[in-house]
Amino acid sequence: MGNFLDDLFKKVFKSETKPEVNFKENYTYKEEDWQEAEMWAESPEGQELLAVVYRNYHLKRTQILELPEVHVFSSPYANGFALSYDPPLDAKSFLNLFLAFSRRILALGYRQVSLDRKFEEINDQVRLTEKFYFKPPLQALEEGSLISQLFGNISLEKISVNNQPSYIKLLATVYSDRLYQNAGSFDDLMDRLFETN
Protein backbone atom coordinates (compact mmCIF):
# COMPACT_ATOMS: atom_id res chain seq x y z
CA MET A 1 0.00 0.00 0.00
CA GLY A 2 2.87 2.36 0.85
CA ASN A 3 4.41 2.02 -2.63
CA PHE A 4 1.04 2.74 -4.27
CA LEU A 5 0.63 6.01 -2.30
CA ASP A 6 4.27 7.01 -2.90
CA ASP A 7 3.85 6.45 -6.67
CA LEU A 8 0.54 8.36 -6.63
CA PHE A 9 2.08 11.31 -4.79
CA LYS A 10 5.03 11.37 -7.20
CA LYS A 11 2.67 11.43 -10.19
CA VAL A 12 0.38 14.10 -8.73
CA PHE A 13 3.10 16.31 -7.31
CA LYS A 14 5.84 15.59 -9.82
CA SER A 15 8.50 18.23 -10.16
CA GLU A 16 8.88 19.70 -13.64
CA THR A 17 11.95 21.66 -12.66
CA LYS A 18 15.35 20.10 -12.63
CA PRO A 19 18.14 21.54 -10.53
CA GLU A 20 20.05 24.26 -12.36
CA VAL A 21 23.82 24.35 -12.55
CA ASN A 22 25.29 27.32 -10.69
CA PHE A 23 28.88 26.84 -9.51
CA LYS A 24 31.72 29.29 -8.92
CA GLU A 25 35.36 28.59 -8.05
CA ASN A 26 38.75 30.28 -7.94
CA TYR A 27 40.83 29.40 -10.96
CA THR A 28 44.39 29.50 -12.26
CA TYR A 29 46.04 29.00 -15.64
CA LYS A 30 49.10 26.86 -16.27
CA GLU A 31 52.44 28.59 -16.71
CA GLU A 32 52.59 27.23 -20.28
CA ASP A 33 49.33 29.07 -21.11
CA TRP A 34 50.79 32.37 -19.88
CA GLN A 35 54.03 31.86 -21.81
CA GLU A 36 52.19 30.95 -24.99
CA ALA A 37 49.92 34.02 -24.68
CA GLU A 38 52.90 36.34 -24.17
CA MET A 39 54.77 34.90 -27.17
CA TRP A 40 51.59 35.04 -29.27
CA ALA A 41 50.98 38.73 -28.39
CA GLU A 42 54.48 39.60 -29.65
CA SER A 43 54.22 37.44 -32.80
CA PRO A 44 53.17 38.87 -36.19
CA GLU A 45 49.85 36.94 -35.91
CA GLY A 46 49.13 38.38 -32.46
CA GLN A 47 50.14 41.90 -33.44
CA GLU A 48 47.93 41.74 -36.53
CA LEU A 49 44.90 40.51 -34.57
CA LEU A 50 45.37 43.18 -31.89
CA ALA A 51 45.49 45.82 -34.65
CA VAL A 52 42.31 44.44 -36.29
CA VAL A 53 40.34 44.41 -33.03
CA TYR A 54 41.55 47.92 -32.14
CA ARG A 55 40.56 49.18 -35.62
CA ASN A 56 37.14 47.52 -35.33
CA TYR A 57 36.61 49.16 -31.93
CA HIS A 58 37.13 52.60 -33.51
CA LEU A 59 34.99 51.69 -36.53
CA LYS A 60 32.16 50.56 -34.23
CA ARG A 61 32.24 53.94 -32.49
CA THR A 62 31.42 55.47 -35.90
CA GLN A 63 28.65 52.88 -36.49
CA ILE A 64 30.67 50.78 -38.96
CA LEU A 65 30.55 47.02 -38.32
CA GLU A 66 33.47 44.73 -39.17
CA LEU A 67 34.36 41.21 -38.03
CA PRO A 68 35.29 40.31 -35.39
CA GLU A 69 32.46 42.45 -34.05
CA VAL A 70 33.19 44.84 -31.20
CA HIS A 71 30.46 46.23 -28.93
CA VAL A 72 31.05 49.51 -27.09
CA PHE A 73 29.82 50.41 -23.59
CA SER A 74 29.90 54.05 -22.54
CA SER A 75 28.56 55.86 -19.47
CA PRO A 76 29.87 58.48 -17.05
CA TYR A 77 31.07 55.84 -14.55
CA ALA A 78 31.76 52.73 -16.63
CA ASN A 79 33.22 52.20 -20.09
CA GLY A 80 34.17 49.08 -21.92
CA PHE A 81 33.94 46.84 -24.92
CA ALA A 82 33.00 43.29 -25.81
CA LEU A 83 34.61 41.29 -28.58
CA SER A 84 32.46 38.63 -30.26
CA TYR A 85 33.94 35.29 -31.25
CA ASP A 86 33.96 35.86 -35.02
CA PRO A 87 36.47 35.12 -37.79
CA PRO A 88 39.44 35.39 -37.88
CA LEU A 89 39.40 34.36 -34.18
CA ASP A 90 39.78 30.71 -33.29
CA ALA A 91 39.67 29.08 -29.84
CA LYS A 92 43.44 29.43 -29.31
CA SER A 93 43.73 33.07 -30.40
CA PHE A 94 40.63 33.87 -28.33
CA LEU A 95 42.27 32.47 -25.18
CA ASN A 96 45.61 34.12 -26.02
CA LEU A 97 43.90 37.49 -26.46
CA PHE A 98 42.13 37.13 -23.10
CA LEU A 99 45.37 36.26 -21.28
CA ALA A 100 47.35 38.94 -23.15
CA PHE A 101 44.83 41.59 -22.04
CA SER A 102 45.24 40.47 -18.42
CA ARG A 103 49.04 40.77 -18.65
CA ARG A 104 48.77 44.22 -20.22
CA ILE A 105 46.45 45.40 -17.45
CA LEU A 106 49.01 44.24 -14.87
CA ALA A 107 51.73 46.08 -16.79
CA LEU A 108 49.74 49.32 -16.32
CA GLY A 109 50.30 49.02 -12.56
CA TYR A 110 47.16 47.16 -11.56
CA ARG A 111 46.99 44.33 -9.04
CA GLN A 112 44.97 41.22 -9.74
CA VAL A 113 42.37 40.75 -7.01
CA SER A 114 40.83 37.55 -8.32
CA LEU A 115 40.47 35.07 -11.14
CA ASP A 116 37.45 32.82 -10.95
CA ARG A 117 35.18 30.86 -13.19
CA LYS A 118 31.46 30.39 -12.93
CA PHE A 119 29.26 27.72 -14.51
CA GLU A 120 25.59 28.63 -14.98
CA GLU A 121 22.74 26.81 -16.65
CA ILE A 122 20.59 29.29 -18.57
CA ASN A 123 17.75 28.14 -20.85
CA ASP A 124 19.20 24.61 -21.24
CA GLN A 125 22.61 26.01 -22.07
CA VAL A 126 25.68 26.04 -19.85
CA ARG A 127 27.52 29.35 -19.71
CA LEU A 128 31.09 29.45 -18.42
CA THR A 129 32.40 32.85 -17.35
CA GLU A 130 36.11 33.22 -16.57
CA LYS A 131 36.69 36.56 -14.86
CA PHE A 132 39.74 38.55 -13.82
CA TYR A 133 39.19 41.47 -11.46
CA PHE A 134 41.84 44.19 -11.17
CA LYS A 135 42.20 47.18 -8.82
CA PRO A 136 44.64 50.09 -8.78
CA PRO A 137 47.66 49.54 -6.51
CA LEU A 138 47.45 50.25 -2.79
CA GLN A 139 49.29 53.44 -1.92
CA ALA A 140 50.65 55.15 1.18
CA LEU A 141 49.42 58.71 0.86
CA GLU A 142 50.85 61.96 2.01
CA GLU A 143 48.35 64.00 3.96
CA GLY A 144 46.02 65.94 1.68
CA SER A 145 46.92 64.01 -1.47
CA LEU A 146 44.38 62.13 -3.54
CA ILE A 147 44.48 58.41 -4.35
CA SER A 148 45.31 57.43 -7.93
CA GLN A 149 42.67 55.18 -9.45
CA LEU A 150 44.52 54.81 -12.77
CA PHE A 151 41.55 53.97 -15.05
CA GLY A 152 39.27 52.69 -12.25
CA ASN A 153 38.56 49.06 -11.40
CA ILE A 154 38.77 46.70 -14.36
CA SER A 155 36.93 43.44 -14.92
CA LEU A 156 37.92 41.17 -17.79
CA GLU A 157 35.67 38.24 -18.73
CA LYS A 158 35.78 35.41 -21.24
CA ILE A 159 32.39 33.80 -21.83
CA SER A 160 31.73 30.41 -23.44
CA VAL A 161 28.33 28.84 -24.08
CA ASN A 162 28.11 25.03 -24.31
CA ASN A 163 31.91 24.82 -24.57
CA GLN A 164 31.97 27.25 -27.53
CA PRO A 165 33.71 30.62 -27.15
CA SER A 166 31.21 33.50 -27.23
CA TYR A 167 32.81 36.84 -26.29
CA ILE A 168 35.42 38.70 -24.25
CA LYS A 169 34.28 41.70 -22.22
CA LEU A 170 36.35 44.40 -20.53
CA LEU A 171 34.73 46.98 -18.25
CA ALA A 172 36.46 49.86 -16.45
CA THR A 173 34.45 51.34 -13.57
CA VAL A 174 35.66 54.63 -12.10
CA TYR A 175 35.50 55.82 -8.49
CA SER A 176 33.41 58.96 -7.99
CA ASP A 177 34.68 59.48 -4.44
CA ARG A 178 36.36 62.81 -3.57
CA LEU A 179 39.34 60.91 -2.13
CA TYR A 180 40.41 59.79 -5.63
CA GLN A 181 42.08 61.57 -8.51
CA ASN A 182 40.11 61.65 -11.75
CA ALA A 183 40.43 58.43 -13.70
CA GLY A 184 42.50 58.30 -16.86
CA SER A 185 40.52 58.40 -20.10
CA PHE A 186 39.15 55.14 -21.49
CA ASP A 187 40.66 56.06 -24.87
CA ASP A 188 44.09 56.14 -23.23
CA LEU A 189 43.42 52.74 -21.62
CA MET A 190 42.46 51.32 -25.02
CA ASP A 191 45.59 52.79 -26.66
CA ARG A 192 47.76 51.10 -24.05
CA LEU A 193 45.91 47.77 -24.12
CA PHE A 194 46.23 47.48 -27.89
CA GLU A 195 49.74 48.89 -28.25
CA THR A 196 51.66 47.00 -30.92
CA ASN A 197 55.36 47.07 -31.79
Predicted confidence at residue 140, as pLDDT, reads: 65
The model's pTM is 0.87
Q: Report how far residue 191's alpha carbon sits from residue 197's, in angstroms, rounded to the nearest whole number.
A: 12
Per-residue pLDDT of the chain (197 residues; tens, 9 = 90+): 456 556 655 555 555 555 577 889 999 999 999 999 999 999 999 999 999 999 999 999 999 999 999 999 999 899 999 999 999 999 999 999 999 999 999 999 999 999 999 999 988 899 999 999 999 997 767 887 888 899 999 999 999 999 999 999 999 999 988 888 899 999 999 999 999 77
The whole-number pLDDT of residue 17 equals 55
pLDDT for residue 124: 87
Residue 78, strand partner residues: 173
- The pLDDT assigned to 144 comes to 78
Residue ranges per structural domain of the chain: 19-193
* Distance, C-alpha 85 to centroid of its chain: 13
DSSP 92-153: HHHHHHHHHHHHHHHHTT-EEEEEEEEEEEETTEEEEEEEEEEEPPP-PPPTTPPBP-BTBE
- What spatial distance separates the first Cα and last Cα of the chain, rounded to whole Å? 79
What's the rounded Cα separation, in Å, for the pair 160 and 168? 9
**Which value, in Å, is the radius of gyration of the alpha carbons in the chain?**
22
